[in-house]
Structure 1
Amino acid sequence: MTSLAQRCCPHLAGVPDNGHVLGPDFVQDPFPALDRLRSEGPVHLVTLPSGAERWLVTRYDDVIRALEDPRLSNELGRGLQQSLPPEPLPPRAQVSLRTTQLLGRAMANLDPPDHDRLRKLVVRGFSAKRVEGLRDRIQRSTDELFDALGDAPEFDLVETVANRLPIAVICELLGVPATDTGLFRTAASVVGGHIPDDETALRVVAALDEFDAYVRELIGARRLTPRADLISALVTAEADGERLTEDELVSMVGIVLFGGYEPSAQLIGNALVALLRHPGQLAAVRADFGLIPAVIEETMRYDGPVTPGLSRYALEDVEIGGTTIPKGSYVVVGTASANRDPAHWPDPATFDIGRSFTARSLGFGHGLHYCVGARLASLEVEIVLATALRRYPRLRLAVPATELERRPGSVRGLRAIPLRVD
């Protein structure tokens, strides 16, 4: 750890130079490390499994304050240029630059007032009325995915349902033809994923380039012939008397896709696995599907898809819990840790759908950047859980839960969820 880090994080003074290294075990189960860090202090300098060094905020009240602090910017690209190595850029640096170019003008990656201007346009597409209007379509898609399994006694929920339903819903909402959903799924799956080598990095850049070109072509088509879809609405909408630029449109389509696909896909899996690991609560849900919203809320707290948290960039020195985070630092606001803070939830490591919430779970974010697609994600999970439990009275994991393997990356999900239905 650097001397600066030791000065800013006094309780870590004297530890080895690499500080808190979150190794491969963190990917499989981050919560022991997060519990330890949270108990030791509110802010730590850590090395993530990806090798990136970040300041991590661990406690609920501090996380809330950090998410509300305008000095912690969502515009992560502000610090990118000075952190890039010299030309020619190595493949992994190319991924960082290309992702920033593609998504940098999306509302989720902007601060007010630009964020507010763009959010007003998108939030209309995710209104409660519009999302509820998708219920029958989501149910049909879910039934089709399960129908395709036929009489198979075993299947992988990730590949057959969880990875397919959200992309189909998002593409329909945007107005992407069903024949092109594969391109969108490929692009969505590479953002936030683990990049183990240069070859993978180059494939990611190529996928993002292809996505960028396709979306620009689709935008051009909607300018000529608008339809009843979200891309057309964004193309024709005005905010404060101005229309979105083409770069803003591409970024907005990208963030709707990337924000609506991976978290929803992983929440479906995390919720079902949590239920299957708790037979008593599973039986209660089978007896009353009205409990499913409580399952979703508790899953977002107990094992939400974003781990360890949301990224920010310090525009100036920021003091949190007695620790100064230096200007120009990248920060992870630890929502996963905050959601298990014993100061707000008794027995936080226990999955309990009957829990009385005395604080709001931060799985969908907080404040200005609360996820606009939260309702849609919850509806997808609700429909998949109800459909699976209705169809398969004996549904169970096909392997011990300890054998389920998590993927590296910023979205916490399982590589596969093998299920038995006989």
Structure 2
Amino acid sequence: MSEENENDEVQTFEGLGICDQLVVACDKLGWKNPSKIQLEAIPHALEGKDLIGLAQTGSGKTGAFALPILQALLDSPQAFFACVMSPTRELAIQIAEQFEALGSEIGVKCAVLVGGIDMQQQAINLAKRPHIIVCTPGRLMDHLTNTKGFSLRTLKYLVLDEADRLLNEEFEKSLDEILSVIPRERRTYLFSATMTKKVRKLQRACLRNPVKIEAASKYSTVDTLKQQYRFVPAKYKDCYLVYILTEMTGCTSMVFTRTADSTRFLAVTLRKLGIRAIPISGQMSQPKRLGALNMFKAGECNTLICTDVASRGLDIPSVDMVINYDIPTNSKDYIHRVGRTARAGRSGVAISLVNQYELEWYLQIEKLIGKKLPEYPAQEEEVLLLNERVTEAKKLANNEIKEKGGGKKRRAGGDDGEEDIGKYISFKNGKSAKKSKRK
């Protein structure tokens, strides 16, 4: 009996050794019980160990590193206490929001350093001596080089989130420079969805006797995710997309395409058919990207058409369905895309539309996840009843984008909702509105 009670105690944040103020903050966020990665990581972190954590997306890993850092900050408050690096601007902003929400009871100050936002404003925020910096590597290096009086000489904690992506060529040089100028005497947490050769090399270079935590098998999807595919002729793929979105009316959906142009074209086409769609891609400016995300989170548009810029790290609550309109050429990207739904114990659906040119990529995905997926049920005759309307909508979309200069003058043109995005952009000190506070 006592053993059961002991186990029950460990299933709470309090039982893990988290202090009362942070437990209250967790409760306000709706975090009742620690996730698997939090259960395994937090006790080691509180003991002062370096961590390397492998966890599938949506597992609550931000809490796994934020809570121990905030608890340590309470014990010895100081400016520039921790630095968290992420590969994307949106993820950095989201991590900062979670730090501020968790630190709301203890007055934590954060600064976000990412590209696409005025450096001068960021320098002003740094002059206020925040406790936590959340950044992308390139912009952090810009400030370390150019912002007078700013350094990380007193840094106590370094977090590398989505480390497998931080080790891409675009970040490698900045990352090496940053590691050479921060204190060696520090705690380092490295979190990654996959354990690549580069991640192993980084682990050896910047962690000391780390505890390795693996909260998932190497390439897995969560059990609450229903995955299906549909083999479709390339010329009818748009009909199938519209059919599925119409069948699932009322659901929030993310539709993944391969290119930024596709996101724009599909969004305009779907809006011509009465489907509330909005695009997001790396070609859009940072305010427009955040505005599109905020519209989606607020429920103003329930279909987000996106490139892989939105497949990693973003915690968009209550996504009911992911549709792979284009099959990813790198099968690992499939894991990250479908991880946008069925998060934190909720259920979700992922449907892949596979045309005759994408079959090989799709088979690689099945091999990676180690299972054959069932086929999405649909009567082709019923689907093709949409063909005339879809063809007409595509023509109208094409004409509209051409009239607006093919998107060259405007990052995302036409009736794709960009005109509406501005009012949903909530920048304050370079941060987006706090629409979502979930693990």
Structure 1 length-normalised TM: 0.28
Question: Relative contact order, CA 8 A, sep 6+: which one is greater?
Answer: 1
Which structure shows the higher helix fraction?
A: 1
Which structure shows the higher strand fraction?
A: 2
Q: Which has the larger radius of gyration?
A: 2
